[in-house]
Copies of this chain bind each other. A is one copy, B any other.
Amino acid sequence: MQSSPLLEHLIENLRCLPGVGPKSAQRMAYHLLQRNRSGGMNLARALTEAMSKIGHCSQCRDFTEEEVCNICNNPRRQNSGLLCVVEMPADIQAIEQTGQFSGRYFVLMGHLSPLDGIGPREIGLDLLQKRLVEESFHEVILATNPTVEGDATANYIAEICHLHNIKVSRIAHGIPVGGELETVDGTTLTHSFLGRRQID
């Protein structure tokens, strides 16, 4: 039992953060109370703002508090004619850090998983098709994770691209099979971009 119900409540709520168990939640709560209350207040405000105001870009589905995100709004990126399809927003961060890609993105927010009721609609493929029709892309780069589900999703999207006569490629070399794109180092990711191969 903590001496304070509010402290107990804070420790409990800190555990909603991934990787935070009871011990580290307690350490975090004491740290803030003892040494950084203004930091704790700032974090509370940042959380409230982010949770209530951040939605999804109407073009790429990445997180943004605007109607259209910074990347989609960038004219240089619009002119590249390249569209990179990823599973999660964190994948965009990883790719941006390689500096190898200057096109736009499309975020599936997951992958096809029929057994879990996640079909084409749930990962936004209706919006993706609409964009393929309305905009003129030279190439769609499929950067879903090299897992069974990621590969299946990539194949499904490749077929859609073929229907629209758009060149489509899959990033390839270096990503360990079964691994997650988000955790791959920049060099490996750069190689996999340069070594992408067209899907016929």
Residues of A18-73 at the interface with B, using a CB-CB cut-off of 8 Å, are 18-19, 24, 26-34, 36-37, 39-54, 57, 62-66, 69-71
A125 is an interface residue with CB less than 8 A from chain B = no
Q: A16 touches which one: B16, B32, B53, B71 (CB < 8 A)?
A: B32
Q: Is there an interface contact between A40 and B51, defined as CB atoms closer than 8 Å?
A: yes
Give per-residue flags for A158-199: 1 if the beta carbon is below 8 A from chain B beta carbons, else 0.
000000000000000000000000000000000000000000
- With both beta carbons as reference points, the residue of chain B lying nearest to A49 in the complex is identified as B6
Q: A54 touches which one: B6, B42, B46, B96 (CB < 8 A)?
A: B6
Q: Is there an interface contact between B16 and A43, defined as CB atoms closer than 8 Å?
A: yes
- With both beta carbons as reference points, the residue of chain B lying nearest to A16 in the complex is identified as B39
**In the complex the two chains form, what is the Cα distance from A156 to B50 in whole Å?**
49
A14 is an interface residue with CB less than 8 A from chain B = yes
Q: Is there an interface contact between A41 and B49, defined as CB atoms closer than 8 Å?
A: no
Q: A65 touches which one: B5, B32, B89 (CB < 8 A)?
A: B5
Given A1-B70, A29-B50: 13 more A-B contacts, CB < 8 Å? A3-B64, A3-B89, A4-B63, A4-B65, A6-B50, A6-B54, A17-B17, A17-B32, A17-B43, A19-B27, A30-B89, A33-B63, A44-B51
30 contacts across the A-B interface (CB closer than 8 A): A1-B70, A1-B96, A3-B70, A3-B92, A4-B54, A4-B62, A4-B64, A4-B66, A4-B69, A4-B70, A6-B46, A6-B50, A7-B63, A9-B50, A10-B46, A10-B49, A10-B50, A14-B46, A17-B17, A17-B31, A18-B27, A19-B24, A30-B90, A33-B63, A40-B50, A41-B47, A41-B48, A43-B47, A44-B45, A47-B47
